A and B are shown apart, each in its own frame.
Chain A
């Protein structure tokens, strides 16, 4: 069964520092992978997605993620953190079954950015 593990429930960085949020997946078939962001008291919004093709995926707000099949990883990075990046981030995998498509989420990582 497909699943997602996010390493670290809380990550703290200084403004201008590298952001690295870790995600590992398990999947018996080539996965579709996603990163979502949730700002306080809001719903989730899509940051980026990997389906097929180029393994380095660029998303909104300067974020990018690299799909590494050999490591079953899809880590999210940003070269320089801004205060506005403080939020909760979720990695997700798309599961295909007879009933269609379901999106399975990790438990989330809260990113704090200090000045």
Chain B
């Protein structure tokens, strides 16, 4: 299995609080992605990174920010969590042609 870990795996937080999810890889892949998965919507891209300090927005980026200060770590921050951000979040890594390896997911509940 590709070396990709997400933390935490589960989190419950209150509306209005900031939340940071971490994705860590040991594969030295260039690309890292954050997706959210919701019933009926499949996986939607939030943000992605194509190198250290190089990031771009996906289709559902509002309310989220990311940072990548090292090749191995990609952080997703919910600046002020809302109930609509209750979801399962997946991190993925890729060497570049699109075939990606996924983490196990983080189940986030905003109450």
Contact = CB atoms under 8 A, between A and B. Distances in A.
Interface of A: 6, 9, 32, 34, 36, 42-46, 49, 51, 90, 92, 94, 97, 99-108
5 contacts: A43-B104, A99-B56, A102-B48, A102-B56, A103-B92
B50 A101 contact: yes
Interface string B57-98: 010000000000000000000000000000000101010111
Contacts, number: 72
Q: Classify chain B's interface size.
A: 20 to 34
B41 to A, nearest CB: 6
Tell me if A's interface is mostly helix, strand, loop or mixed: strand
Contact of A90 (B30, B43, B98): B43
A102 B102 contact: no
A36 B35 CA distance: 14
Contacts of B30: 100
Interface in B4-54: 30-31, 33, 35, 40-45, 48, 50, 54
